[in-house]
Amino acid sequence: MADKPILEKTFNEDIDIEKKVGEGCIYTRLYIEVQGNDKDKCEKALQRAIFDSLGNEPNVDLLSVKFFELQKDEEKKFYSGVVEVESLFRDFRWFINIVMRYGPSAIEIIEPQSGVSLSLEEMQAIIADISEQSQILSTRLLGLLKDDERKKIFERMLKEDK
């Protein structure tokens, strides 16, 4: 990751972060990555993921976004890049839900530093959310493997990783 972002935007500057955290919000920094062989498509995918998707999630307030220059891996011939996103999540359940769906490569919980407690109802809801996301992922993966051509590609990829 480059030292200096190529694009930096701030949002919701009027939000009192300390007050929101006191009300149960989770203040975080997420790093969302992309990899691909087409630089323009990678950049557009990151922009859509942040501005069109994450930025429109209910119960998520974006605070700042920093896009870093995509780097090319000359050996493997692909581009990779990262976006740093500071945000507030309504609660721990919503935070986990977003992490499960967006799969950030790194996560930093900035606040609260301590004192987080969950009711039995919240814990059960979180477990149900995780189970639901696991089922969705499993169904999608199994759907991809039904296509013989895709199955051959996945088998070849698995062999290359060993």
Instruction: Kindly state whether residues 111 and 126 are assigned to the same domain.
Output: no
Instruction: Kindly state whether residues 101 and 150 are assigned to the same domain.
Output: no
Read off the DSSP letter of residue 13.
T
User: What would the pLDDT profile of 13-59 be if each residue is shown by its tens digit?
Assistant: 999 999 999 999 999 999 999 999 999 999 999 999 999 999 999 99
Instruction: Kindly state whether residues 21 and 71 are assigned to the same domain.
Output: yes
Instruction: Kindly state whether residues 80 and 44 are assigned to the same domain.
Output: yes
Instruction: Kindly state whether residues 125 and 112 are assigned to the same domain.
Output: no
CATH of the domain at 84: 3.30.70
> How many C-beta neighbours within 10 Å does residue 46 have?
21
Instruction: Kindly state whether residues 72 and 17 are assigned to the same domain.
Output: yes
Triad 88, 90, 92: Cα angle to 5°: 95
Instruction: Kindly state whether residues 130 and 70 are assigned to the same domain.
Output: no
Instruction: Kindly state whether residues 26 and 103 are assigned to the same domain.
Output: yes
100, 130 Cβ separation under 8 angstroms: yes
Instruction: Kindly state whether residues 154 and 94 are assigned to the same domain.
Output: no
Residues of 13-35 as b/e, b for ≥16 C-beta within 10 angstroms? eeeebeebbeeebbbbbbbbebe
**pLDDT value at residue 48:** 95
18, 79 Cβ separation under 8 angstroms: no
In 3-state terms, the chain is what percent helix, strand and coil (to 5)?
Answer: 45, 25, 25
Instruction: Kindly state whether residues 27 and 95 are assigned to the same domain.
Output: yes
Per the document, the length of the chain is 162
The per-residue pLDDT of the chain, averaged, comes to 91
Please compute, for residue 128, the number of CA atoms within 13 A of its CA located in the half-sphere on the CB side: 6
The residue behind tokens 């972002």 is 5
Instruction: Kindly state whether residues 134 and 54 are assigned to the same domain.
Output: no
Instruction: Kindly state whether residues 17 and 71 are assigned to the same domain.
Output: yes
Q: Which domain holds residue 136?
A: 118-162
What domain count does the chain have?
2
**pLDDT value at residue 93:** 93
